[in-house]
Chain A
Amino acid sequence: MKNGFLILSLAFVFLFDSGYGQTKVTLSGYLKDKKNGEMLIGATVYVKELNTGTTSNVYGFYSLSLPQGSYNLTFSYIGYTSRDESIDLQSNITLDVELESQSIEIEAVVITSKKRDENLTRSQTSMIKMDPKAIRSLPILMGESDILKSIQMMPGVQSVSEGSSGFSVRGGSADHNLLLLDEAPIFNAGHLMGFFSVFNSDAIKDATLYKGDIPASNGGRLSSLLDIRMKDGNKKEFKGEGGIGIIASRLTLEGPLKKDKGSFIVSARRTYADMFLALSPDTGIRNNKLYFFDLNTKLNYEINSKNRLFLSGYFGRDVYGFGNDFKMSWGNATVTARWNHLFSSKLFSNLTFIYSNYNYDLGFNKTKPKFDWTSSLNNFGLKYDFTYYHSTKSTLRYGVQSTVQDIQPGKFSVKGENSEYKVPNNKMLEYAAYFQHEQKFWDKLSVNYGLRLSMFQNIGKATVYRLENFKVVDTITYNKNKIFNTYIGLEPRFSASYMLNQSSSVKASYSRTRQYVQLASNSIGGSPLDVWFPASQYVKPQVSDQVGIGYFRNLSDNKYEFSVESFYKWMNNQIDFDDNADLVLNNQLEKELRFGKAHSYGLELLFKKNEGRFTGWVSYTFSRALRKFPDINDGKQYNANYDKPHNLTIALNYNITNRVILSANWVYTSGAPITYPTMRFPHGNANLPIYGDKNANRLPDYHRLDLAMTIKNRVRAGRRWQGEWNFSVYNAYNYANAYSVYFETDKKDKDKIRAYKMIMFRIVPSVTYNFKF
């Protein structure tokens, strides 16, 4: 099958290249922001004479192979003034182009394609691009703009619980999403119980969510890829920006290392609830800690026209503590080092080294002896990716990847004693090789097909338990570095688009994804104590197949966009947990696992207005997510925890003037599934519940209105400081949405049980002052 794909690929490359036989030369270069030198991702180069073009890659690089001749070119990017260039192309030429950003109104566009009709022409389906610069005007919880919360307002994406940064994509669970920050995987994206994400929007340049049809260059998760790219830093001049909010403040500094050659950026954010605690007259409260912080840094340097280096890092941590008795902290750390190299004007390469760590630490200092509980995950990766720009109609991407991962699920040590309880480490290797070919046929049909070959291996030192009926019947130990289990699998990816006319297209896609590590979590909104665990002899890799079709139409010269997409996804080797599963510090986790199948399907509608003073979108999703496990719910099918069939979002922005923007969101979803008790029995002078079918009931439907107003100060010539106030109200009509349901026996009548809905957020006003200098 693999050989067949390769032969087919090469055939397409050479047979459908319209310029085959002519002398071709290459125009290549980088597209940048004129103000700060930031590379523009997905900017367009259009060749008028040939009615064709290309887009820049994630490093701002573009390449066009054209027959010799004179051409009129247009370089464009949404939110920027287009630039026309005439060029006499007789030999290979390198042309770096800087585009100037436009007026403020266009920046207010929130969700956008980078090219005005890119949503029609690209073969990629089920993709959402977010503009971090623009989400600031959205009303948001506590005034902290958050890329993950904004993504949850798009069709096919649902929050796992109110206020959570965890999300479900097309019926997948939260751990089915691959979150990459400058290509480094983030293993726990939540701060403060998941109410805030680790992604500081000041440090982010671009975020793209693939809901299906994930590029073959990425894998390892079933449902989605969220590819977040950090800013490179200002190459022209020293700049700063930040914000002061009610819960956190931010500061970003950036500037050139050497003008137009290299730059740096440092971005920090910290909450200050603990600073208010310190003002308390109560020493019990004053000594407590409760905060999180993030630090993003990046350096880049252009060695010469063919070589560029990037070094980026992230470090974030949550810290809780009750006096000196108890402390708890957790966080992510990542490092990404990249080397862009041009082998030729048609062959772009990127070599990436990745390190990602997640760990937590709990200390109990009150008792004697003192205890310390730790867990860590270390991930080292190496990737080598190539893009070959064969012609304006044909682009080939290929590469290889390797990852080493070491998970220490939990270690409980006793200070001052030679005693510890340690769950054995899990070590694993993951490799992949891929190719993907994007081919345009004539002017209407565009096809994107690829194949990913992934391999996974468990390596010692390890202890493996042989189970029968969820009980350990044998224990097998493997020596250090011994490879004792291997999985290998093919992951075909395919998508195609056909332009029906200048303003509409139809698309279809199929993709298979495999997942070799998963999260041991059975909490409502995710927990910092959740640990990842690998596939093994008894845990088969999760596999998902997804098909999708869509119709896309733009109206009024691309001012309005409409799309309808439908998908069906079926997932095998799915994992759920026993009713009473103990998932932390469990060295026989396999006993708690239950295996089954899941499937989901849905219809997603999106209508957007992209331009003008009044912008926004309306999205509606109908979807179902269902699971069937022989050992759960008596083998009967049940609703997944995140199965919320109806999901409607209305997001509106209105620029009253160039300085004042009003925004409003209204969100409605079906209530999340829940299992209600049907009977009770007495024990220990309490009423204990007997539950009915799993997830057979639902919380009350959820709806919420958020409002925001952004007021910018006047732009005055020569004044470097620019400021804006953002006033935001979350849940403006103070609706009591149920986070969960809780039952309590009446204190006066032990036979009467009262039901309560737990409400996480009522009306939450906030104010943030953002500034630039």
Chain B
Amino acid sequence: MDMKKILIITIAAASLFGCQKVEFDPNISEYNKNLLVVEGMISDNPDFQYINLSRTSSYLGNQPIVTINNALVSVSCEGSTYIFNHSGNGVYTPPVGFIGEVGKTYHLSVNHEGAIYEADSRMNQPLILDSINMEKDEFEKKKFKINAWFQDNPAEDEFILFKYAINNTLQDSIDQWEVYLDVLSNNLYIEDASIIYGINANIGDSISLYTFSISKQYCDFLLMAEKNMEEPVPFMPPPGARIKGNISNGALGFFQASAVFRKKTKLKI
């Protein structure tokens, strides 16, 4: 289901009426409860294992994000506990040799200033891509999109996060990610599905498409995050929906265990 096209059509129709955006001051008072924030991932690929810790900040306060550098971070699985070490700027990395495995459930524990913050996540099986290609984006003529061919796994209710890299540089921000739900296409062979639009790349660039198996809860988290970053149009709900994570004790953010698969191609158009 390609909701992005619907959104683009809506925006196109709205543009008939000269929809504009003008900067203004909404008079939002400075407010910050300094809540702990977790952004963590365990995977079966050593490039995608980290626990980032930080604090909330006032929305329009223009303050830099404050990282947490002195927490005790551990991940446990099937009776083994692995201590993650701080490697700077609030990033905690696993001990050498630690790698996630499909089918296992991982438990995150963060001990900071006497409070314990916890989360659990199970690593679901990966989505294997048969092939990918690039073609021109019909909505943004100077940009490209990635198409993919794959067999959806037999398991129902699978959720996949797609990311891409250009010349091995991961384009790693939420507005460049896409999520896929197999609710409507379980166990089907999908051909030529447009996965990611609006890619700025050049002929000859190496393009990689990554799949990350994720939980429904993380899928909802990402969809809500994406909605909050889109420009409002009549089709869409008004802003104000909370982005619910899976960290206990009032902390924000998400801890996710993902199986990762990568497929490469060259931009030849």
Selected contact of A689 from candidates B24, B25, B188, B228, CB within 8 Å: B228
Q: Which residues of B contact A417 (CB under 8 A)?
A: 188
A682 and B37 form a contact (CB under 8 A): yes
The answer, yes or no, to whether A691 is at the interface (CB within 8 Å) is yes
A740 and B65 form a contact (CB under 8 A): no
B23 and A755 form a contact (CB under 8 A): yes
Known: A323-B138, A688-B225, A690-B35. 14 other contacts (CB 8 A): A320-B9, A367-B190, A368-B192, A524-B235, A579-B242, A580-B241, A679-B56, A682-B54, A683-B225, A688-B174, A689-B228, A755-B24, A760-B19, A764-B18
A368 and B238 form a contact (CB under 8 A): no
Closest chain A residue, CB of each to CB of B252 = A681
The answer, yes or no, to whether B155 is at the interface (CB within 8 Å) is no
Give Cα distance in the complex from A364 to B184, angstroms: 13
The answer, yes or no, to whether A500 is at the interface (CB within 8 Å) is no
Selected contact of B236 from candidates A523, A585, A676, A755, CB within 8 Å: A523
Q: Which of A126-134, A397-405, A567-575, A693-701 contacts B (4 or more CB under 8 A)?
A: A693-701
Selected contact of A682 from candidates B65, B139, B241, CB within 8 Å: B65
The answer, yes or no, to whether A326 is at the interface (CB within 8 Å) is yes
The answer, yes or no, to whether A95 is at the interface (CB within 8 Å) is no
11 pairs across A/B with beta carbons < 8 Å? A367-B192, A369-B191, A678-B29, A679-B57, A680-B58, A681-B56, A681-B253, A695-B240, A753-B59, A759-B19, A764-B17
Kindly identify, within residues 2 to 29 of chain B, every residue whose CB is under 8 Å from any CB belonging to chain A.
2, 5-6, 8-10, 12-14, 16-26, 28-29
**Contact string against B for A residues 185-201, beta-carbon threshold 8 Å, 1 for contact and 0 otherwise:** 00000001111000000
Q: Which residues of B contact A756 (CB under 8 A)?
A: 21-24
A691 and B242 form a contact (CB under 8 A): yes
Kindly identify, within residues 177 to 225 of chain B, every residue whose CB is under 8 Å from any CB belonging to chain A.
177, 183-185, 188, 190-194, 220, 222-225
The answer, yes or no, to whether A758 is at the interface (CB within 8 Å) is yes
Give Cα distance in the complex from A529 to B236, angstroms: 11
A588 to B: closest C-beta gap in Å: 12
Q: Which residues of A contact B2 (CB under 8 A)?
A: 326, 364, 367
B23 to A: closest C-beta gap in Å: 5
Nearest 6 Cβ contacts at the A-B interface:
A675-B240, A525-B234, A368-B191, A740-B232, A684-B174, A579-B241
Selected contact of A759 from candidates B22, B175, B188, B193, CB within 8 Å: B22
Give Cα distance in the complex from A697 to B59, angstroms: 15
Chain B contacts to A: CB under 8 angstroms: 1-2, 5-6, 8-10, 12-14, 16-26, 28-29, 31-33, 35, 37, 39, 52, 54, 56-60, 62-65, 138-139, 141, 172-175, 177, 183-185, 188, 190-194, 220, 222-225, 228-229, 231-244, 252-254
Closest chain B residue, CB of each to CB of A318 = B13
A580 and B224 form a contact (CB under 8 A): yes
The answer, yes or no, to whether A665 is at the interface (CB within 8 Å) is no
Q: Which residues of A contact B64 (CB under 8 A)?
A: 751
Give Cα distance in the complex from A690 to B236, angstroms: 19
Give Cα distance in the complex from A273 to B16, angstroms: 9
Q: Which residues of A contact B10 (CB under 8 A)?
A: 193
Give Cα distance in the complex from A523 to B236, angstroms: 5
A585 and B184 form a contact (CB under 8 A): yes
B17 and A752 form a contact (CB under 8 A): no
Task: With a 10 A CB-CB cut-off, give which of B17, B31, B64 has the most chain A CB atoms.
Answer: B17
The answer, yes or no, to whether A666 is at the interface (CB within 8 Å) is no
A759 and B237 form a contact (CB under 8 A): no
Give Cα distance in the complex from A758 to B8, angstroms: 16
Selected contact of B28 from candidates A164, A678, A694, A695, CB within 8 Å: A678
The answer, yes or no, to whether A322 is at the interface (CB within 8 Å) is yes
Kindly identify, within residues 368 to 385 of chain A, every residue whose CB is under 8 Å from any CB belonging to chain B.
368-369, 371, 373
A688 and B234 form a contact (CB under 8 A): no
A759 and B21 form a contact (CB under 8 A): yes
Q: Which residues of A contact B175 (CB under 8 A)?
A: 686
Q: Is the interface on chain A under 10, 10 to 19, 20 to 34, or 35 or more residues?
A: 35 or more
Q: Which residues of B contact A685 (CB under 8 A)?
A: 172-174
The answer, yes or no, to whether A412 is at the interface (CB within 8 Å) is yes
Q: Which residues of A contact B26 (CB under 8 A)?
A: 676, 697, 741, 755
The answer, yes or no, to whether A6 is at the interface (CB within 8 Å) is no
A322 and B138 form a contact (CB under 8 A): yes
Closest chain B residue, CB of each to CB of A282 = B141
Q: Which residues of A contact B174 (CB under 8 A)?
A: 683-686, 688
Task: With a 10 A CB-CB cut-off, give which of B5, B183, B241 has the most chain A CB atoms.
Answer: B241
B253 and A683 form a contact (CB under 8 A): yes
A523 in contact with B37 given A691-B240, A756-B21 (CB within 8 Å): no
The answer, yes or no, to whether A742 is at the interface (CB within 8 Å) is yes
Q: Which residues of A contact B220 (CB under 8 A)?
A: 580
Q: Which residues of A contact B233 (CB under 8 A)?
A: 193, 524
Selected contact of B56 from candidates A273, A368, A690, A757, CB within 8 Å: A690
Closest chain B residue, CB of each to CB of A420 = B184
The answer, yes or no, to whether A281 is at the interface (CB within 8 Å) is no
Closest chain B residue, CB of each to CB of A421 = B184
**How many cross-chain pairs have Cβ atoms below 8 Å apart between A and B?**
241
Closest chain B residue, CB of each to CB of A160 = B234
Give Cα distance in the complex from A290 to B5, angstroms: 14
Closest chain A residue, CB of each to CB of B32 = A679
B59 and A689 form a contact (CB under 8 A): yes
Closest chain A residue, CB of each to CB of B57 = A680
B23 and A320 form a contact (CB under 8 A): no
A760 and B35 form a contact (CB under 8 A): no
Q: Which residues of A contact B33 (CB under 8 A)?
A: 679
B6 and A328 form a contact (CB under 8 A): yes
Give Cα distance in the complex from A388 to B241, angstroms: 54
Give Cα distance in the complex from A328 to B54, angstroms: 44
A676 and B24 form a contact (CB under 8 A): no
A461 to B: closest C-beta gap in Å: 22
A101 to B: closest C-beta gap in Å: 37
The answer, yes or no, to whether A720 is at the interface (CB within 8 Å) is no
**Contact string against B for A residues 343-370, beta-carbon threshold 8 Å, 1 for contact and 0 otherwise:** 0000000000000000000101011110
The answer, yes or no, to whether A284 is at the interface (CB within 8 Å) is yes
Give Cα distance in the complex from A258 to B243, angstroms: 66
Selected contact of A677 from candidates B14, B28, B193, B232, CB within 8 Å: B28
B184 and A523 form a contact (CB under 8 A): no
A362 and B6 form a contact (CB under 8 A): yes
Give Cα distance in the complex from A577 to B5, angstroms: 25
Closest chain B residue, CB of each to CB of A753 = B60
Give Cα distance in the complex from A14 to B231, angstroms: 65
B146 to A: closest C-beta gap in Å: 13
Task: With a 10 A CB-CB cut-off, give which of A273, A373, A688, A738 has the most chain B CB atoms.
Answer: A688
B36 to A: closest C-beta gap in Å: 9
Give Cα distance in the complex from A320 to B14, angstroms: 13
Give Cα distance in the complex from A140 to B23, angstroms: 28
The answer, yes or no, to whether A82 is at the interface (CB within 8 Å) is no
Selected contact of B13 from candidates A290, A674, A700, CB within 8 Å: A290
The answer, yes or no, to whether A754 is at the interface (CB within 8 Å) is yes
A54 to B: closest C-beta gap in Å: 45
Q: Which residues of A contact B173 (CB under 8 A)?
A: 684-686
Q: Which residues of B contact A580 (CB under 8 A)?
A: 220, 223-224, 241-242, 244
Q: Which residues of A contact B224 (CB under 8 A)?
A: 579-580
B234 and A684 form a contact (CB under 8 A): no
Kindly identify, within residues 171 to 220 of chain A, every residue whose CB is under 8 Å from any CB belonging to chain B.
192-195
Q: Which residues of A contact B236 (CB under 8 A)?
A: 523-524
Q: Which residues of A contact B243 (CB under 8 A)?
A: 688-690
Q: Which residues of B contact A84 (CB under 8 A)?
A: none
A684 and B56 form a contact (CB under 8 A): no
A649 to B: closest C-beta gap in Å: 22
Selected contact of A679 from candidates B16, B58, B190, CB within 8 Å: B58
Kindly identify, within residues 631 to 684 of chain A, every residue whose CB is under 8 Å from any CB belonging to chain B.
641, 674-684
A760 in contact with B57 given A362-B6, A580-B244 (CB within 8 Å): no
Selected contact of B235 from candidates A367, A523, A692, A757, CB within 8 Å: A523
The answer, yes or no, to whether A519 is at the interface (CB within 8 Å) is no
The answer, yes or no, to whether A163 is at the interface (CB within 8 Å) is yes
Kindly identify, within residues 282 to 332 of chain A, every residue whose CB is under 8 Å from any CB belonging to chain B.
284, 290, 320, 322-323, 325-326, 328
Give Cα distance in the complex from A697 to B28, angstroms: 9
